[in-house]
Amino acid sequence: MSNIQECPVCGYKNITQQDRFSKGERYFCTECGAFLKRNDLTNLDVAKIPELKMARIIENIKHVPHNKILWNDLIDNYVANTEKYLALYEMDDIKTDFRKEISNKLKSFLHVCSSADFQIAFVGTIKTGKSTLINALLGNNYASMAVTPETAALTKFRSSDKDYVKVSFYTKDEWADLWSTVSSEADAFLSEYNALDGDKFKDDWIDHSPIKREISNKDIQNELKRWSSSKSPEHYFVKEIEVGISTLSKDFPEQVVFVDTPGLSDPVSYRSDITKAYIKQANAVFVCVDAQKMYKEETETISSVFSFSYDNKNKVHIIATHWDNLNDPVNDWDEQFNYMLRMLVGKAFFDSEETAKSNIMYSSAYIYNLCREYESLDVSEKRSLRKFAFNFEDKIDPTDLDSCIDFLINKTNIDKIKTVIREHLIANYKDILNRDIGYRYEDIIYNLKRTIRESKANAQDVIETASADVEKMIEKIDNQRKDYEGIRECKEQLEETLDIIEARTYQNMSTILSKIDGNNTKVKEYKPPKRVKTKVNLLDLAIKKIFNR
């Protein structure tokens, strides 16, 4: 039940919950920050500082600048709210353990809303063919496909008016976090880092502002190599590379971003954590798994990607790469595909067999790229292509490669993958983006509520512990006071008793001495203190009574 509570300071009509209100919880006026129910306070000065603080916070929140989102009103509303939450969490007055975590989450959400990028992440363990597949889809060998592990940073490819490469670097804090996760299995990482004298270059690149260079399309590959190759010392410090490409097919609008990720099993867990976090936020995930290793380690990769995509498992696409390396590509794949259908439909995987059927595909990007560059292939590359063509010698003549190229391109399945991207994803990208942003906003609100609840519980704990301490102190003081009084009483009694004994001894001494030498020895006259005198007299009376009897 709600209740209108007029603010005694500014007159604003606040809506408060009646039940909570009746429990005596205290509120601030949402307009000026004054205490509602302030009349309960016996000392109004107590409220002054928090009221002033609150009023200032409210004033600041009211004037948080808003970057209008033009493409969707609902998302504009999410953004306006999130900007206010962020302003709140960035204030020095707000002290909470979750501050960094929450404000990073809010910033990344605002970034997603303002850029409206549709992110397709390519993930998988090292050397499963992610970069080769991206190059096939982009129509050029931009990403490095060297046999050594290459991609240590997130590399984003997108359509753009001009060709460019933009490089961002780790901050000091991020680098410290990364370094703390270099595991004991990362021997190779450490020895390569030392061999390249990484530390010598560290200060040049950590915290460096992003570098964006407009270059010609043909230079993209070399520029990328400079920042991502494991041979260059600077690649360690690169966090993200964005590549704008002017020659991409118009099938891929500017908002669609292909993201090449560091391997999921990177020995530096900070880097594989970047990929895991990316899987959660990507709008679609293409998991590259080696078709020859499907039964073993690759099933673990698939399971972990599904577990990071728990909010929308159907965004996962499985690409079995190196299809051309199977002994009998067509028949072996049939068998594998059916095995995967059985395995990957269910609670933790795809919702239905229909989704699984359209989201599990094979690819042979290596062969596709060879076909695309057929005119400039060297002898050994032509040999690889011919070897692949022999799988289909009942349909084509592998000795006449020129006549087989279109057939072979079709077999690589890259065009099918492009069609799925175009028709299932890009055609609906605004709807998918809106839905995903909606999910993320719900997640943010849930997290804010959780952290507020936890902060409140923590504050309550502190208050309770503090008041328990105060009560204990009072009890202790009380006990001590009682003890003190007891001791004082005891001391007084003791002193009295001693006084009496002393007085009695004195009197006895006088009597004894007078008996011995007939009052010749003068005993110094004893003058008992006044308080003792009465007691001594009473004692004497008692003794006399006893003797007389």
Ligand X SMILES: Nc1nc2c(ncn2[C@@H]2O[C@H](COP(=O)(O)OP(=O)(O)O)[C@@H](O)[C@H]2O)c(=O)[nH]1
Q: Which two tokens stand for residue 22?
A: 């009746």
Distance in angstroms (rounded) separating the CA atoms of residues 146 and 128: 12
Binding of ligand X at residue 275 (CB under 6 A)? no
Binding of ligand X at residue 129 (CB under 6 A)? yes
Residue 374 half-sphere exposure toward CB, CA atoms < 13 A: 15
Nearer to Mg ion, 141 or 455 (CB): 141
Q: What is the contact mask toward Mg ion in residues 128 to 147, using x (rule: CB under 5 A)? A: ---x----------------
Binding of Mg ion at residue 230 (CB under 5 A)? no
Q: Taking CB within 5 to 8 Å according to partner kind, which of ligand X, Mg ion, none is near residue 239?
A: none
37-76: contacts with Mg ion (CB under 5 A): none
Of 69, 145, 344, 433, which lies in the binding site for ligand X, with binding defined by CB under 6 A? 145
Q: Taking CB within 5 to 8 Å according to partner kind, which of Mg ion, ligand X, none is near residue 233?
A: none
Output the smallest distance, CB 416 to ligand X, in A.
Answer: 14
Q: Which two tokens stand for residue 211?
A: 């570098």
Q: Taking CB within 5 to 8 Å according to partner kind, which of Mg ion, ligand X, none is near residue 325?
A: ligand X
Q: What DSSP string runs through 131-152?
A: HHHHHHHHTS--S---SS----
Binding of Mg ion at residue 363 (CB under 5 A)? no
| Backbone angles phi and psi of 126, in degrees to 5 | -60, 140
Distance in angstroms (rounded) separating the CA atoms of residues 193 and 230: 9
Neighbours of 478 (CB within 10 A): 10
Nearer to Mg ion, 150 or 223 (CB): 150
**What is the residue type of 37?**
K
Distance in angstroms (rounded) separating the CA atoms of residues 471 and 475: 6
Of 72, 229, 325, 358, which lies in the binding site for ligand X, with binding defined by CB under 6 A? 325
Nearer to ligand X, 123 or 165 (CB): 123
Binding of Mg ion at residue 228 (CB under 5 A)? no
Nearer to ligand X, 82 or 132 (CB): 132
Binding of ligand X at residue 141 (CB under 6 A)? no
Binding of Mg ion at residue 82 (CB under 5 A)? no
Query: Residue 525 has what DSSP assignment?
Result: P
Sign of torsion, CA 48 54 57 63? negative
Binding of ligand X at residue 130 (CB under 6 A)? yes
Distance in angstroms (rounded) separating the CA atoms of residues 118 and 114: 12
Binding of ligand X at residue 365 (CB under 6 A)? yes
Q: What is the contact mask toward ligand X in residues 229 to 268, using x (rule: CB under 6 A)? A: ----------------------------------------
Output the smallest distance, CB 275 to Mg ion, in A.
Answer: 12
Distance in angstroms (rounded) separating the CA atoms of residues 384 and 394: 18
Q: Taking CB within 5 to 8 Å according to partner kind, which of Mg ion, ligand X, none is near residue 261?
A: none
Distance in angstroms (rounded) separating the CA atoms of residues 262 and 452: 35
Q: Specify the length of the chain in residues.
A: 549
Sign of torsion, CA 133 136 138 140? positive
Binding of ligand X at residue 336 (CB under 6 A)? no
CB 348 within 8 A of CB 306: yes
Q: What is the contact mask toward Mg ion in residues 92 to 131, using x (rule: CB under 5 A)? A: ---------------------------------------x
Beta bridge partners of 287: 123, 318
**What is the residue type of 135?**
N
Per-residue buried b or exposed e for 51-71, using 16+ beta carbons within 10 Å of the residue's own CB: beebbebeeeeeeeeeeebee
Of 119, 301, 364, 391, which lies in the binding site for ligand X, with binding defined by CB under 6 A? 364
Of 151, 155, 228, 275, which lies in the binding site for Mg ion, with binding defined by CB under 5 A? 151
SS3 of residue 365 by DSSP: helix
Nearer to ligand X, 169 or 323 (CB): 323
Output the smallest distance, CB 206 to ligand X, in A.
Answer: 25
In terms of Cβ atoms closer than 10 Å to its own Cβ (0-12, 13-18, 19+), residue 274 is buried
Q: Are strands 164-169 and 316-321 parallel, antiparallel or unpaired?
A: unpaired
Size of the site for ligand X (CB under 6 A): 20
Q: Taking CB within 5 to 8 Å according to partner kind, which of ligand X, Mg ion, none is near residue 129?
A: ligand X
Interface with ligand X by CB under 6 A: which range of 41-49, 143-151, 215-223, 435-443?
143-151
Neighbours of 423 (CB within 10 A): 11
Q: Which stretches of the chain bind Mg ion, using CB under 5 A?
A: 131, 150-151
Q: Which stretches of the chain bind ligand X, using CB under 6 A?
A: 124, 126-132, 145, 147, 151, 288, 321-322, 324-325, 363-366
